[in-house]
């Protein structure tokens, strides 16, 4: 979002319970994680067969102006969705493997 002034930005941060340093650190951490994921979980783009399968299996997600869009019109969207799903599966499997090999205490869940 864009803010009309630095003061408006600071007020929004204050309402959120954080300051500029906290926001900066959070953004830095998020970028670091994204960079790691990009390096660790790089994969080949989806094949035409995978795109076609997703298109056939998920027509409800490909509706544009009340009608199912032709594959060529949504090809880029389908490729992004398939890639994102594959990547999410790889990350989930990787995390599950890490958890199997280590004692992990989720401090957030432990406080509940």
Q: What is the pLDDT of residue 106?
A: 78
SS (H, E, C) the chain: CCCCCHHHHHHHHHHHCCCHHHHHHHHHHHHHHHHHHHHHCCCCCCCHHHHHHHHHHCHHHHEECCEECCHHHHHHHHHHHHHHHHHHHHHHHHHHHHHHHCCCCCHHHHCC
Q: What is the pLDDT of residue 17?
A: 95
Q: What is the pLDDT of residue 79?
A: 98
Walking along the chain (112 residues) 10 residues at a time, the average pLDDT comes out as 90 94 97 93 95 97 94 97 96 92 79 64
Nearest CA-CA partner of 67 in 76, 59, 77: 59
Q: What is the pLDDT of residue 109?
A: 75
């Amino acid at each position: 979002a864009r803010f009309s002034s630095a003061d408006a930005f600071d007020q929004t941060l204050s309402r959120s319970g954080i300051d500029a340093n906290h926001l900066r650190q959070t953004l830095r951490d998020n970028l670091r994680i994204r960079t790691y994921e990009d390096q660790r979980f790089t994969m080949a783009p989806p094949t035409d067969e995978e795109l076609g399968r997703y298109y056939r299996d998920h027509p409800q997600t490909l509706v544009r102006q009340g009608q199912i869009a032709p594959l060529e019109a949504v090809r880029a969207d389908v490729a992004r969705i398939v890639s994102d799903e594959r990547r999410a599966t790889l990350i989930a499997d990787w995390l599950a493997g890490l958890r199997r090999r280590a004692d992990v205490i989720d401090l957030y869940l432990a406080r509940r």
